[in-house]
Amino acid sequence: MTDPSFDRHMLEGLVCPVTQSTLSYDAEKQELVSKSAKLAFPIRGGIPIMLVDEARKLD
């Protein structure tokens, strides 16, 4: 289920707060993924939560 309130165009202006690299959008998990930092930042209520403490670590 996707969150219709998340504007995918907003992704163009967001970068990883750790590495300053681009992010990819995972619609299924409602996350913004930083492959370089191996972190996934959640999207809650259409708002990306760009805090490292809130991010999920990727393998």
Q: What pLDDT, on the 0 to 100 scale, is given for residue 12?
A: 80
> Which domain CATH number covers 33?
2.20.25.10
Task: Report the alpha-carbon distance of residue 24 to residue 31 in Å, rounded.
Answer: 8
Q: What pLDDT, on the 0 to 100 scale, is given for residue 16?
A: 97
Q: What pLDDT, on the 0 to 100 scale, is given for residue 8?
A: 73
User: Average pLDDT, stretch 45-49?
Assistant: 92
In a domain, 2, yes or no: no
pTM over 0.75: yes
In a domain, 50, yes or no: yes
User: Average pLDDT, stretch 5-32?
Assistant: 89
Q: What pLDDT, on the 0 to 100 scale, is given for residue 4?
A: 57
In a domain, 18, yes or no: yes
The model's confidence at residue 6, banded by pLDDT at 50, 70 and 90, is confident
